[in-house]
Structure 1
Amino acid sequence: MGEGVTAGQNLELDAAIAETRAKYQRANAQSAERHEGAKRALPGGNTRAVMFYEPFPLTLTGGRGCTVSDLDGHTYVDFVSEYTAGLYGHSNAKIAAMIKQVADSGWVLGGPNPYEGRLAQAVVDRYPAIERVRFCNSGTEANLMALSTARAVTGRAKILAFEGGYHGGILTFAHGGSPLNAPYPFIFGHYNDIAGVTALIREHAGELAAVILEPMMGGGGCIAAKPDFLAALRAETAKAGILLIFDEVMASRLSYRGYHGKVGIKPDLVTLGKYIGGGCSFGAFGGRADILDRFDPASPNAFGHGGTFNNNIFSMAAGFTGFTEVLTEEALDRMNGLGDDLRNGMNALLGTRNVAAQVTGVGSIMNLHFVGHPVRSPDDVEHADPRWLHLWQLEMLLRGQYVTPRGMIALSLPMTRAEIVAFLDVFADFLDGYRSILPQQI
């Protein structure tokens, strides 16, 4: 039944959820109607699973700065931030002007454009582990390309990944994995388990092409890798000739030099995505020059890498503008500092009320978990009662705070201390309103 929860509290929780759902449905009739209509052509009215939640998701119609608006006329402070891709907010003037300039000059031109080389150079200049880079269309695609590259370069087949990890729609390992996953031969380790993973690497050293992980798990629950865990992975993979891949599709926004720059460990390959396209579709894989130079089409036996929209001008131009003109080191540090303040503030509120819950994460990315024990890997939250997060999400939405159903929170550059203070006030109100039934720390 969960930590510190009685049978009576379970009944009260179910009743509270039913009442909150009813309020949500009354407040969002047009979103409900749109959702029902979409079911006629889209399975479940949905084409992106992470966007769905019960009883139906809000239909968003626009956004300004760090707010979004829905079909029923409500405005929310956006703490979803497009699952970290919305780092720039929804209306940055510099990025908007560049997109308009590109739209006015024509697109799908079928050749190199002025922006792709400049964006590539900016990425190489900023991230220590990236000596060369290639672009694609999503973080999922970037990880597929990195894994396939590792297999081709090493001549080995197997990949070591981590239980509960996520590297894209067909590289998802939560709850036993997905039947849609790409058919790589995977070996799975436990995140932050130095002894166990070291043993796995040594046992399979001759078969492993790569070890892939997020140095701060995003979809896995915003759990940071311990520095000594990352150091052990770097040492063991280097010793065995195994490529170490850091998936920094989310985590790169946590430091100006990327997460690997933050912790001072250089992987062989790094994957990027989400925000770096300036709000347009984007993915990239980069790393050591000797590996990436295998993609030079002027070289003998070069690896082929196509993709109609790899260098699409919207992503290249918007990405270059955002990355070089908006995402300054000062701006990124300020946003991540606000994230630290929000996470610490939420944990303080939970602590003073003795609630069996905690907020994990780093900087501007975090996750609320209704568990009372330490969270070091996805295993530690696997059996958390999902009803608490469901109630929390709907109640926060009703209070004007746009949050995710899984408890993940991501900040954006337009946010100020005012949004953080307001969120903490609303969170405190939620905790106090349900104090009698929230799980208590034992």
Structure 2
Amino acid sequence: MNNTTAIEVAHDLERAISSARQRLIDSRPASAAAFRRAQASMPGGNTRTVLHFDPFPLTFKRGAGSDLWDVDDACYSDFVGEFSAGLYGHSDPIIKQAIRDALDQGIVMGGPGDREVALADLVTSRFPSIEQLRFCNSGTEANILALSAAIALSGKRKILVFEGAYHGGVLAFSTPPSVLNIPWEYVYVPYNDTQGAIETIGRHADSLAAVIVEPILGAAGNIPGTASFLRALREATASAGVLLIFDEVKTSRCGAGGIQGRLGISADFTTLGKYLGGGLPCGALGGRQHFMQRFDPSAPNAFRHAGTFNNNPCTMSAGLAGLSQIFTASRADKFDAACEEIRLEFNAMFSSLDVPMRCVGQGSMFSVHFVRSEPANPSDIPRISARLMRLLHLELLLEGVVVASRGDIFVSLPVEQRHIAALKSALNGFAARWAPLLRAAV
């Protein structure tokens, strides 16, 4: 693209964004007012950065199934899915009854309960690499525990992370990494760079405590790790005496045993979270028994792992109901396959329209990118893609479809054909309307 064309495309894109932005402002006055009120007590009117977008985040008042209503009474098909935590939707009757049962029996009892054992048994039966586990309150917490344990077990200090990875609010490795990250010593490698990872693991083996990897690079755009890349990490870490941590906080929903179950990879530690608590705060660190035994409070030199709400009865009850009665192993596999068909159908639609758009990911979690081919890592995504996504996000909201502002789409269990049809129609309409701009931009 020559400079003149690039400038023209940029101007056309900004005009389109400005128009969509104004239409949203005009049609959502109650959300605008709620945002202004929130700014008085919260910086930026926000307590969760990922939910913020310009001109203001929508304020929701009610959800049912996979529908959401905002304070302006506009209804949306929900494909944010609480960034994968909302697997069961907003009103599953089994989940709601499980929470009611827990409430009726006491909320903060300060001791072990039978539900946590039952939930732990279910998790260990689904993930062969998880021989024992400890519950916590989030995926962030689970990853902090995993990395802290790896450092303590190995006596080594370095951690290998992949560029663009997100392992929690204090473990965010975009470019540049978050200044709020835990100040450990990190070694960086591009995602899906198999040879680079193997060489780096070997070069730092004497000082490297762990390699932590998302089997699908989530916050950077749901970019899947190739099977050869992920298997190479297992082989290289095992050979070098380095612990391998699979962050399956999101990807554990991709089939009965997550991505490692699909590929037959056995990590040393696995972290879980998001939907695990049935929609309530929950996380888990699991792994091989001889590593996890260090968390046994009665063992010599035991790791001290506290957490007031680690076994919260409402969370344990909702999580147990979810895995035992709703998202069974059989349903997990069927759901992943059905959602993968939807993703591929959308990509076929984009190809038929000859536009540089793709849904990248696996099954029920994928992202829209403005690319001509599948990206292997974030550097393969053109910079203008983020601006194009801003336009798409606004246009989808105006069509009654809510996705993450960065392009993530999560399909939840209660999604009906009408929701899929609404998403497909909105994507098709956008691609058709803006095809000339998209082709010129990418």
TM-score, length-normalised on structure 2?
A: 0.97
Tell me whether 335-344 or 200-209 shows the greater mean CA deviation.
Answer: 335-344
Q: Which moved more, 1:327-336 or 1:40-49?
A: 327-336
Task: Please provide the CA RMSD for this pair.
Answer: 1.7
Q: Is the 8 A contact 1:338 1:420 kept in 2?
A: no
Alignment of 1:184 with 2:184, yes or no, is yes
Which residue is equivalent to 2:23? 23
CA distance in 2, matches of 1:436, 1:190: 33
Change in CA separation of 1:4 and 1:188 when aligned onto 2, cut-off 3 Å: farther
Q: What does residue 419 of structure 1 align with?
A: 419
**Percent of pairs identical after alignment?**
43
Code of the aligned partner of 2:357 = A
Can you give the 5+ residue segments of structure 2 that lack an aligned partner in the other structure? Answer: none
Q: Separation in 2 of the partners of 1:430 and 1:374?
A: 20
- Look up the equivalent residue of 1:316 and give its one-letter code: M
- Larger mean Cα displacement after TM superposition, 91-100 or 419-428: 419-428
When structure 1 is superposed on structure 2, of 241-250 and 342-351 the one drifting more is: 342-351
| Alpha-carbon contact 2:158-2:209 (below 8 Å) kept | yes
Counterpart contact for 1:78–1:403, Cα < 8 Å: yes
In 2: Cα distance, 1:123 partner to 1:248 partner: 12
Aligned amino acid, residue 407 of structure 1: G
Aligned length: 442
CA contact (8 A) 1:244 1:269 kept: yes
The match for 2:290 is: 290
Q: Distance in 1 between matches of 2:440 and 2:405?
A: 21
AA partner of residue 361 (structure 1):
G
What is the one-letter code of the residue matched to 1:196? G
Which amino acid counterpart does residue 57 of structure 1 have in structure 2? P
Please state whether the residue corresponding to 1:359 is helix, strand or coil. strand
1:274 equivalent to 2:274? Answer: yes
SS at match of 2:439: coil
2:312 aligned with 1:319, yes or no? no
C-alpha change, 1:258 and 1:4, in structure 2 (3 Å) is farther
The answer to whether the 8 A contact 1:393-1:407 is kept is yes
What does residue 97 of structure 1 align with? 97
Which one-letter code corresponds to 2:130 in the other structure?
Answer: I
* 8 Å contact from structure 1 (residues 38, 46) kept in 2: yes
| In the alignment, structure 1 residue 119 sits paired with structure 2 residue 119 | yes
User: CA distance change for structure 1 residues 349 and 118 in 2, over 3 Å: closer, same or farther?
Assistant: same
Distance 2:335 2:60 in 1: 24
Q: Deviation of residue 435 (structure 1)?
A: 2.7
**1:41 matched to which residue of 2?**
41
- CA distance in structure 2 between the aligned counterparts of 1:268 and 1:281, rounded to whole angstroms: 24
In structure 1, how many angstroms separate the alpha carbons of the residues matched to 2:419 and 2:232? Answer: 39
For 2:3 and 2:314, how far apart are their aligned partners in 1?
49
Deviation for aligned residue 1:190: 1.1
Match of 2:129 in 1: 129
CA positional deviation for 1:5: 5.8
Which residue of the partner structure matches residue 407 of structure 2?
407
Q: Is 1:342 equivalent to 2:369 in the alignment?
A: no
User: What CA deviation, in whole Å up to 9, does each residue of 1:345-389 have, x standing for no partner?
Assistant: 222222222222222101110011112344001221262442210
Aligned to 1:8: 8
CA distance 1:247–1:3, change in 2 (3 Å): farther
DSSP-derived class of the 2:302 partner: coil
Give the Cα separation in 2 of the matches to 1:346 and 1:10.
26
Matches within 5 A, 1:16-415: 16-381=16-381, 383-415=383-415
Distance 2:207 2:51 in 1: 37
Amino acid at match of 1:324: S
Q: For the Cα contact (< 8 Å) 1:213–1:246, is it kept in 2? A: yes
- Residues 4 and 260 (structure 1), Cα distance of their counterparts in 2 relative to 1, 3 Å cut: farther
Please say if residues 213 and 246 of structure 2, whose CA atoms lie closer than 8 Å, have aligned partners that are also in contact.
Answer: yes
Separation in structure 1 between the aligned mates of residue 353 and residue 2 of structure 2, nearest angstrom: 17
